[in-house]
Structure 1
Amino acid sequence: MRQLSVISRRVAAAAVSLVLVGGAAACGPEGDDDAASGGERDAAPAKGGTLSVLNAVPQENFDPARLYTSGGGNVPSLVFRTLTTRNREDGAAGAKVVPDLATDLGKPSENATVWTYKLKAGLKYEDGSAITSGDVKYGIERSFAAELSGGAPYLRDWLVGGDDYPGPYEKKGKGGLDSIETPDARTIVFHLKKPEGEFPYLATQTQFTPVPKAKDEGTKYEEHPVSSGPYKVVKNTGDGERLVLERNPHWSAKTDPERHAYPDRIDVKSGLDSAVINQRLSTGSGADAAAVTTDTNLGPAELAQVSGDKKLADRVGTGRFGYTNYLAFNPKVKPFDDPKVRQAVSYAVNRTSVANAAGGSSLAEPATTYLPNQKSFGYTPYDHFPAGKTGDPKKAAKLLREAGYKNGLKITLTHSTAKDFETSPEIASAVQDALKKAGITVKLEGLEDNDYKETVHSVKGEPGLFLAHWGADWPSGGPFLAPIYDGRQIVRNGSNYNHAQLDDASVNDEIDAVNKLTDLDAAARRWGALDKKTGEKAVTVPLFHPVYKRLFGKDVKNVVISDWTGVLDISQVSVK
């Protein structure tokens, strides 16, 4: 999750102010769960044409070992297929995991420590050669190489022997990982250190992409990775700033019901100014009529201007990604060692003013639960310290008096000075103003973004109260709750995310119990119950969940935005 959090912050930072060219626009009705409504997007999709992708952030390190992504709706999924993938549907239906290269979601052992997958028959690379289980194994092994670092850390943590494996380029690693077996060309078996019922989710990560050993060029592999998906790379310049994809003639839709691959060509231009991206999409002239963005939001100023233009309104896609912005307490720092002080802050928060500071209700939905309000996470409604829409300063002041602070309280709130709508000065100021009404005087401590991250993730230097955020690597409560509340994940000499340094045996035991479940729906219900339980400890104050509003070109059809990524799914788009 850690890297995804960074990516999401960069995405949020892309929301900028500009006057839309071609007149004002109106976004769709608030509360509408559809990605967009009416217009060209509902026309029947057809094959052919070129889809342009206009992005702010370059698609760097286009190597499946180095990408921190499940390939959900973005470009990597067009080239890299994995054992499993996400269901390519709108909204909540798109938060389900489904088979991709594999015939099913995997067959677990009784205790979920051994997972066996069978590859589909007839799978081929772009050169027509067969994809084998050995290629999947090798693709995973090379992701352990130091020179190919950057991907998700789970395989190193989960696989037996993973923590010591140096990758296949080192003499010690040439024999491969013994915990991955390939008894035949279509079977692959994984041996894990402990039960992991959510292994099918992990198998969506690009590290599970097959890589033919004979074609591996180490760090140069990203220039032309061998495609297992519907498109192959024909150009990669500027470290992902310009990426051109064309059809893989050996890809078969019969083995891949998830990706439609309508366009003949995908032209990705990155490193663009966010204002320019939105301007080009709104105008929609020439090739930009068949263009999309997967990382640039409409910002508050833009949404304030969008009114009265039905055509543009029909070209605003709405996405929700499992992500929570919150206040984090460090109970090791006074006065936050007192639960009543933490509860007082919880009651005093004005979520309406916080949401307004984050861009308004169109871009930020107030939150009272740590888990996002989506079924796949196990969302269980609760509000242990009900502050209403604008806070409850009287209740907060009463708790402060009970805690011994009859004349009020002075505290410090740490935040980043970056304008990213998450830990920004504006949100910090909104919190400051709300707490003042309860007799809490808040001193704001703004740090340059790198200093902020180093400070809040250090056990030794972590402040008592700071703005924080978290997103999930896949739509489940597991990668959301465990890093924040599992006492065994406290990192004392590195980046720590268990900011409360909570080490509660009952919480740790429940995390272990849920990890054993291979029934993902049952696991979701347990994650929701655990969220409610940990919420009572008042070590976080959930503030809001972000909403993404993005334009797409007037010739773009078949818009699909799932709750897994919150991003328009390129594999579904048609431009003809």
Structure 2
Amino acid sequence: MRQSSAIARRVAAASVSLVLASGTAACAGPRDADAGGGAEKTPAKGGTLTVLNSAPQTDFDPARLYTSGGGNIPGLVFRTLTTRNREAGAKGAKVVPDLATDLGRPSKNATVWTYTLKKGLKYEDGSPITTADVKYGIERSFAAELSGGAPYLRDWLVGGDTYQGPYKDKSGKGLASIETPDERTIVFHLNKPEGEFPFLATQTQFAPVPRSKDKGTKYEEHPLSSGPYKVVGNERDGERLRLERNPHWSAATDAERKAYPDAIDVRSGLDASVINQRLAAGRGADAAAVTTDTNLGPAELAKVSGDKDLAAHVGTGHFGYTNYLAFNPKVKPFDDPKVRQAIAYAVDRSSVVNAAGGSSLAEPATTFLPDQKAFGHTEYDHFPAGASGNPRKARRLLKEAGHENGLTIRLTHSNAKNDETGPEVATAVQDALKKAGITVELDGLEDNDYSDRIHDVDHEPGLFLSGWGADWPSGGPFIAPIFDGRQIVKDGANFNTGFLDDKAVNHEIDEINELTDLDAAAARWGALDKKIGRRALTVPLLHPVYKRLYGKDVRNVVISDWTGVLDVSQVAVKSS
């Protein structure tokens, strides 16, 4: 996940299980309860599910969707070669087959991946889904007019760096690195080993699109469905999206999506406070409503915690996201590791967590990788500051660095309120560092200016608040963009903010990428995180915690470690 705007960060929600709003009780799997929290009920087909969201579901075209955003609405319409396992908690962080019969068959060095489509796959019009459609769907994502999706295919596929899409392809043959020897077989040729290709194959760019049905930028108005629902209305570019059953979808070919409701009504562009008010009141259609992008704030959470019925309808959890202090070692005094270490010791994570909304909405972090097994999380704390900081140790390091009388530095942050990169967290850091003799001048920027500044290699600040989330639950898309020296971007958005370009680190990243054993890869990502952490190029601060209301008539709530959002493909609004 590219580091996002304040709005996008707030919609990148997460949950691993159902937890009461007080945080004192949890269950590991789906829970079906009536409005009074009574007996469990069996989910049944029927009814209409309403989705109330802040961000519009814009650009509803598989080529343009970045699947880490937008909740999981696209997965109701677009199937891909692989998908996430639709189970609660850690089991949901696994990748499983979708259109394909398996996770793919790699060559010895993981540079060639072969997939076979299941039999009997059909679009909403009853026509068969073929590998030629999958190939074309991928190729059209390279067209400039359909930009916006994840960038990996351009980097990974042989010839992807120069291909401009089918609209400019005069040969009509498309990418030679994607072969379709028959209607059910597709082969990908990569320019480097990528053991995590099955994760990439979950991205919406892998959704099939028949060439004959492609309408370019207008395809989003009525994309051809390969999933359990089809689009019957798209108003004001995703502000209201209406879905109904796809009569040609077969559960026999799709073990992941339950498709309980008859229809799904997605209403977006709503104010967050209005969404939470409607979900809390639960009147009319709102009793069967959910949100996939709107959290409860501290004040709202306090009210919900005091209401037993509402507390029973809150999903809580952790998306793979880390907020941290980032250093630019090219800017003095941050070129001195002892200064960076001093700041790491001085940070008061208790105050930072409180500034982010309290322990119900944030957890302290000492590792860059999130605290989830799928990422390869390995516990470490190279600069132990305890819960409230260690200013004495920080002062000693500053003295060793020649700053016996302290120093003055500048901290750049976003001006977005109630955001982990905003003024509240910045002030908490400022207060903590003051105890160590470090005067912090705050430099608040409006969100667009802030994003542009921290990603510009020529103007990157010396110290700033930042955050990162992964496109899939693995250490790879978490570690590589931030610490791989070959990903330093000089003429665009740069995310390797510490400008680390270490041959040993780069080599280890390459070796891990060759592994197709994802558990073995996870262990090595964790070890690499621990190794890089000693350099103090970042100071991990917190992992956000997300809490979301859902309607009293909603059944079969499943929240996994992959997306962190309530899975709309599992929800029912009727019981038997």
Cα distance change on mapping 1:71 and 1:465 into 2, 3 Å: closer
Q: What is the rounded CA distance, in whole Å, between the counterparts of 1:178 and 1:3 in structure 2?
A: 32
Q: What is the rounded CA distance, in whole Å, between the counterparts of 2:411 and 2:24 in structure 1?
A: 32
Matched, 1:2 2:5: no
Contact in 2 for aligned 1:71/1:205 (Cα 8 Å): no
Q: What is the rounded CA distance, in whole Å, between the counterparts of 1:489 and 1:43 in structure 2?
A: 51
DSSP-derived class of the 2:442 partner: strand
Matched, 1:219 2:231: no
Q: What is the rounded CA distance, in whole Å, between the counterparts of 2:498 and 2:103 in structure 1?
A: 35
| Equivalent residue pairs, number | 566
1:281-305 CA distance string (max 9 Å, x none): 0010111110000000000111122
The Cα of 1:171 is off from its aligned counterpart by 3.8
Q: Which one of the candidate residues 505, 508, 533 is aligned to 2:506?
A: 508
AA of the residue aligned to 2:2: R
Q: Which one of the candidate residues 87, 90, 93 is aligned to 2:88?
A: 90
Contact in 1 for aligned 2:31/2:557 (Cα 8 Å): no
What's 1:77 paired with? 75
The Cα of 1:555 is off from its aligned counterpart by 0.4
Contact in 1 for aligned 2:51/2:267 (Cα 8 Å): yes
Q: What is the rounded CA distance, in whole Å, between the counterparts of 2:111 and 2:6 in structure 1?
A: 31
DSSP-derived class of the 2:477 partner: helix
Q: Note the 1:135-146 alignment, pairs <5 A.
A: 135-146=133-144
Q: Note the 1:51-450 alignment, pairs <5 A.
A: 51-69=49-67, 74-172=72-170, 174-450=172-448
Q: What is the rounded CA distance, in whole Å, between the counterparts of 2:388 and 2:171 in structure 1?
A: 58
The Cα of 1:574 is off from its aligned counterpart by 0.4
What's 1:451 paired with? 449
Structure 1, 322-331 or 69-78: larger mean CA deviation: 69-78
Q: What is the rounded CA distance, in whole Å, between the counterparts of 1:275 and 1:7 in structure 2?
A: 14
DSSP-derived class of the 2:408 partner: strand
Structure 1, 507-516 or 417-426: larger mean CA deviation: 417-426
What's 2:23 paired with? 29
Cα distance change on mapping 1:262 and 1:480 into 2, 3 Å: same
AA of the residue aligned to 2:549: L
What's 2:47 paired with? 49
The Cα of 1:12 is off from its aligned counterpart by 6.9
Cα distance change on mapping 1:7 and 1:218 into 2, 3 Å: farther
Q: Which one of the candidate residues 463, 466, 475 is aligned to 1:477?
A: 475
The Cα of 1:3 is off from its aligned counterpart by 6.5
What's 1:19 paired with? none
Structure 1 residue runs without a partner (length 5+): 14-24
Contact in 2 for aligned 1:82/1:208 (Cα 8 Å): yes
Cα distance change on mapping 1:504 and 1:33 into 2, 3 Å: farther
Contact in 2 for aligned 1:36/1:318 (Cα 8 Å): no
The Cα of 1:72 is off from its aligned counterpart by 9.0
Q: Note the 1:518-533 alignment, pairs <5 A.
A: 518-533=516-531
AA of the residue aligned to 1:132: T
AA of the residue aligned to 1:488: R
Contact in 2 for aligned 1:359/1:421 (Cα 8 Å): no
Q: What is the rounded CA distance, in whole Å, between the counterparts of 1:249 and 1:143 in structure 2?
A: 27
Structure 1, 171-180 or 56-65: larger mean CA deviation: 171-180
Contact in 2 for aligned 1:70/1:85 (Cα 8 Å): no
What's 2:16 paired with? none
1:330-369 CA distance string (max 9 Å, x none): 1111111111100000000001100111111111111000
Q: What is the rounded CA distance, in whole Å, between the counterparts of 1:65 and 1:338 in structure 2?
A: 44
Structure 1, 418-427 or 468-477: larger mean CA deviation: 418-427
Contact in 2 for aligned 1:28/1:37 (Cα 8 Å): no
Cα distance change on mapping 1:538 and 1:30 into 2, 3 Å: farther
The Cα of 1:551 is off from its aligned counterpart by 0.3
1:516-542 CA distance string (max 9 Å, x none): 000000000000000000000000000
Q: What is the rounded CA distance, in whole Å, between the counterparts of 1:501 and 1:211 in structure 2?
A: 40
The Cα of 1:29 is off from its aligned counterpart by 2.6
The Cα of 1:6 is off from its aligned counterpart by 6.5
Q: What is the rounded CA distance, in whole Å, between the counterparts of 1:3 and 1:397 in structure 2?
A: 32
What's 1:541 paired with? 539
1:125-157 CA distance string (max 9 Å, x none): 001110000000000000000100000000000
DSSP-derived class of the 1:391 partner: coil
The Cα of 1:74 is off from its aligned counterpart by 1.5
What's 2:33 paired with? 39
Contact in 2 for aligned 1:344/1:397 (Cα 8 Å): yes
AA of the residue aligned to 1:11: V
DSSP-derived class of the 2:305 partner: coil
Q: What is the rounded CA distance, in whole Å, between the counterparts of 1:478 and 1:195 in structure 2?
A: 13
DSSP-derived class of the 1:335 partner: coil
The Cα of 1:39 is off from its aligned counterpart by 2.7
DSSP-derived class of the 2:276 partner: helix
Cα distance change on mapping 1:429 and 1:33 into 2, 3 Å: farther
1:228-278 CA distance string (max 9 Å, x none): 000000000110011100000000001101000000000111011111111
Q: What is the rounded CA distance, in whole Å, between the counterparts of 1:556 and 1:493 in structure 2?
A: 48
TM-score by length of structure 1 reads: 0.96
Q: What is the rounded CA distance, in whole Å, between the counterparts of 2:368 and 2:461 in structure 1?
A: 20
Contact in 2 for aligned 1:224/1:234 (Cα 8 Å): yes
Please report the RMSD computed on the Cα atoms of aligned residues, expressed in angstroms. Answer: 1.8
Q: What is the rounded CA distance, in whole Å, between the counterparts of 1:72 and 1:477 in structure 2?
A: 22
Structure 2 residue runs without a partner (length 5+): 14-18
Contact in 1 for aligned 2:32/2:42 (Cα 8 Å): no
Q: What is the rounded CA distance, in whole Å, between the counterparts of 2:12 and 2:81 in structure 1?
A: 30
AA of the residue aligned to 1:111: N
Cα distance change on mapping 1:153 and 1:335 into 2, 3 Å: same
Q: What is the rounded CA distance, in whole Å, between the counterparts of 1:365 and 1:3 in structure 2?
A: 19
Q: What is the rounded CA distance, in whole Å, between the counterparts of 1:71 and 1:98 in structure 2?
A: 20
The Cα of 1:116 is off from its aligned counterpart by 0.3
Contact in 1 for aligned 2:123/2:225 (Cα 8 Å): yes
The Cα of 1:492 is off from its aligned counterpart by 1.0
The Cα of 1:90 is off from its aligned counterpart by 0.8
DSSP-derived class of the 1:497 partner: coil
The Cα of 1:311 is off from its aligned counterpart by 1.0
Q: What is the rounded CA distance, in whole Å, between the counterparts of 2:505 and 2:69 in structure 1?
A: 31
AA of the residue aligned to 2:108: E
The Cα of 1:101 is off from its aligned counterpart by 0.3
Contact in 1 for aligned 2:346/2:394 (Cα 8 Å): yes
TM-score by length of structure 2 reads: 0.96
